[in-house]
Amino acid sequence: MRAAPLLASLIALVCAGCGGAVHKGRTVTFAGAGSFPPSTIVGNYSARGCMDDAKTLVDDARSYYVHSTTGPGPADLYYDDMRFDFARFEADGCTSKELGSAMERGLTPRQRAFLLHNVASDLHRAFQAALDS
């Protein structure tokens, strides 16, 4: 009988010691390009999910760079994919630091500079904040 209150106290102490920011997902509306209707993305935070989101975004950013500079055009598909990836990243409640780490690992300095100069202002601000974090 005494074990139950002791266990409850122990659990409360462990949970109180966790501290830090609480991450959670949120709902984001992604306005598609052209005649595509908006999409609603319901996020769900997990560290693993954010790593996957960031990697996907960086992969599409790299494809956007390649198709904008040397590959067969147009690069519109990869740009729109990158925008959707960022909306998913935001919906999942991921942090700038998580994105910045993925960008540093997955993109060359030249590719990062290209992105900062060739995306819409909202993505520019987000990418710059990620790289500064």
Which residue from 117, 103, 105 is spatially nearest to 69, judged by alpha carbons? 117
pTM (predicted TM-score): 0.77
Q: What is the pLDDT of residues 39-77, one digit of tens each?
A: 888 888 899 999 999 999 999 999 999 999 987 778 888
Where do the structural domains in the chain lie, given as residue ranges? 21-132
For residue 81, the number of C-alpha atoms closer than 13 Å in the C-beta half-sphere is: 19
Q: For the chain, what is the total number of helices (H) and then of strands (E)?
A: 6, 2
Dmax over CA atoms of the chain, in Å, equals: 72
Retrieve residue 42's tokens.
Answer: 């319901």
Q: What is the pLDDT of residues 100-115, one digit of tens each?
A: 999 999 999 999 999 9
